[in-house]
Amino acid sequence: MTGLLIDDADGVRTLTLDRPHRRNAIDVELWKTLRAALDDAGRDRSVRALVLTGAGGAFCSGADISKELSSAHPLYRMRPLTDVTLLLHELPVPTVAKVTGVAVGAGWNLALGCDLVVATPEARFSQIFTRRGLSPDCGGSWLLPRLVGLQQAKRLALLADTIGAEEARALNLVTWVVDGTEVDAFVDGLTARLVAGAPVALAQTKALLNENTDRTLREALAGEARAQAANFATADVREAYAAFADRRDAHFTGRWAVPGTSAGRSEDET
């Protein structure tokens, strides 16, 4: 796909933004391509974790505004960005942003939309929107206050300061800062741990954490009960108990295994 590299290895799908001449700024066609790639990753049951990164020493410098603005109404132009943001947020597998170089504007918010963020010390971040006469998009106005609190979110968004990786980590906007010579191996080890996890349980956990940021305790508890029902309907719970008893690593598959069905039978076989 033009502007996007897709690689599959051991249950991990890596999406690499590949427009290094524009520091991986995302143009109209790449937004559409990224939307299709995320939709496919969400439907492909062989994908157990997803990594989003950029080529050429940058993560993403935001939306590409180098070309003449489209004559289409801005609400229509925003739809691909909105679709990508929602798909990334709701993807049923864990997501990791691997950030080297710049991540600004929509590019930074795509990184924040991932479940975990790994950055190198050289990474730089900015909510650059107000410098362009714009306001945050790609979920930034929703994500930032929840991650750093309202006052720091306003500081970052109103002043559009550029901050480094260590400050971003101190603000809980980066999960780990890892040297550039070690970042690939670190992300490989991290995703291997995620792939080894119980896929249904991970999907339920991610959904609960995302949903419960603005729910009451009563609503959260009801959601947790529904999630546990889904978890107990898989073979993974039985496998976890067996592995604990046998003092071995569990092998999780996410297969459906409720009473009255053949344990381990996949839904594709029913």
In DSSP terms, 117 is beta-bridged to 97
- Residue 221: what pLDDT? 86
Q: Are residues 110 and 229 in the same domain?
A: no
Encode pLDDT of 91-111 as tens digits.
Answer: 999 999 999 999 999 999 999
Backbone φ, ψ for residue 139 (5° rounding): 85, 5
What angle is formed at CA 84 by the lines to CA 80 and CA 86, rounded to 5 degrees? Answer: 120
From the list 50, 64, 65, the residue with the least C-alpha distance to 16 is 50
Q: Residue 78: pLDDT band by 50, 70, 90 thresholds? A: confident
Three-class secondary structure of residue 263 per DSSP: coil
10: pLDDT strictly greater than 80: yes
CA distances (Å), origin 269, targets 41, 236, 261: 21, 18, 11
Q: For residue 270, what pLDDT is reported? A: 40
Over residues 7-17, the mean pLDDT reads 98
40 and 28 in a common domain: yes
Task: Tell which of 195, 225, 253 closes a domain.
Answer: 195
Indicate whether 34 and 140 sit together in one domain. Answer: yes
228, pLDDT greater than 90? no
What is the strand order of the sheet 162-164 is part of?
A: 102-104, 124-126, 162-164
Mean of the per-residue pLDDT values for the chain?
91
88 and 209 fall within a common domain: no
What is the SS3 assignment for 256?
Answer: strand
Q: Taking a C-beta distance cutoff of 8 angstroms, is the pair 3, 30 a contact?
A: yes
Number of separate domains in the chain = 2
Same domain, 8 and 37: yes
Does residue 185 share a domain with residue 76?
yes
